[in-house]
Amino acid sequence: MTGMRIVFMGTPDFACPTLATLVDRGEQVVAVVTQPDRPKGRGQQTLPPPVKVLAESHNIPVLQPVKVRLPESIEEIKALNPDLIVVVAFGQILPKALLDIPKHGCINVHASLLPRYRGAAPLNWCIINGEAETGVTTMMMDVGLDTGDMLLKAVTPIDPDEDTLSLHDRLSKLGAGLLATTIDELAAGRLVAEKQDDSLTCYAPMLKKEDGQIDWEKDAASIKNLVRGMTPWPGAFTFVDGKLLKVYRVQTAAGSGKPGEVLSANRAGIEIACGSGSIVISELQLEGKKRLPAADFLAGCRLEPGQILGKKG
């Protein structure tokens, strides 16, 4: 426990382990700022963000400004008199007027090894790009997008079969521990900030559904990385007989044929030729159907060797 008055800003599941760690440490979390409740899922039911649910379970006051940069939102946070603001996947850019409020500044937990993978979707893009390792970085926030001075880092390897869901869960816990160490070092006066080298940066933009379309001309390893990086959302996909086909789990193989060609389809999996090599799909989902293992999928949808995937119509 540091004794600092802390305002926590975060929204999705990724931010919850860090908030929980602050609570478990007995930190004085005077308020949580999160995004407004929004419609979600097929039923479009209005649901609170995960961080709000966690905060309310600990009787922490919750603020949900539509835009945190509005003067009234800034004044509301200023009135809390925070010593420190902790930000984890909040989802809005913080203006300078807000960054200047706490005497110890605003510390962000970012899910990459900065300066690489600045932006909204670092977990996805590091997998899509075939990185062997990633991690989390704590940084002092400035008005740029993930451009603030770095504080501490924690590195972790990426398993060759790991998807974004698994990596998300690991990094959320890694980030919580790193934030705890960071505020301990801050309270002890031992933190040393390091400027980012902009020449080493790369950008991880927010994902769009169309980013998940499989280009069968690419090599097998690249397609496997795309599938891993797009799972669970928005999902890698192709088309079969004009219907959308989502692909969730694959392995690379050494088959050859026309890109997108079905080489074999049996209980062991569905092998598809790529620009170089092939992939074997073990889990997939046809438009309007459930996500299934390949064997169960083939019981209800026939795929024949020689059939070509990828054409929408």
The stretches of the chain forming alpha helices (DSSP H) are 16-24, 50-57, 71-78, 96-99, 122-128, 164-187, 220-230, 294-300
Q: Give the per-residue pLDDT at 313.
A: 60
Q: What is the pLDDT of residues 58-106, one digit of tens each?
A: 999 999 999 999 999 999 999 999 999 999 999 999 999 999 999 999 9
Query: Per the CATH hierarchy, to which homologous superfamily does domain 209-300 belong?
Result: Formyl transferase, C-terminal domain (3.10.25.10)
What CA–CA distance (Å, rounded) separates 123 from 178? 17
pLDDT by 10s per residue, the chain, length 313: 899 999 999 999 999 999 999 999 999 999 999 999 999 877 889 999 999 999 999 999 999 999 999 999 999 999 999 999 999 999 999 999 999 999 999 999 999 999 999 999 999 999 999 999 999 999 999 999 999 999 999 999 999 999 999 999 999 999 999 999 999 999 999 999 999 999 999 999 999 999 999 999 999 999 999 999 999 999 999 999 999 999 999 999 999 999 999 999 999 999 999 999 999 999 999 999 999 999 999 999 999 999 999 977 6
Residue corresponding to tokens 């704590």: 138
Phi/psi of residue 224, nearest 5 degrees: -60, -45
Domains 5-200 and 209-300 share a fold: no
* Residue 223 tokens, joined: 């397609």
Q: Give the per-residue pLDDT at 83.
A: 98
Q: Which fold has domain 5-200?
A: Rossmann fold (3.40.50)
Regarding beta strands 292-293 and 278-286, do their DSSP bridges make them parallel or antiparallel, or are they unpaired? antiparallel
pTM of the model: 0.94
All structural domains of the chain with their residue ranges:
5-200, 209-300
Among 297, 305, 307, smallest CA distance to 267 is for: 297
Q: In sequence order, what are the beta bridge partners of 25?
A: none
Q: What is the pLDDT of residues 270-298, one digit of tens each?
A: 999 999 999 999 999 999 999 999 999 99
Residue corresponding to tokens 């893009």: 125
Side by side, which strands form the sheet with 133-140?
62-63, 28-33, 5-10, 84-88, 106-110, 133-140, 150-157
Among 48, 38, 16, smallest CA distance to 29 is for: 16
* Residue 44 tokens, joined: 């479009």
Terminal CA-CA length for the chain: 60
The DSSP secondary structure of 104-128, one letter per residue, reads T-EEEEESSSTTSSBSS-HHHHHHH
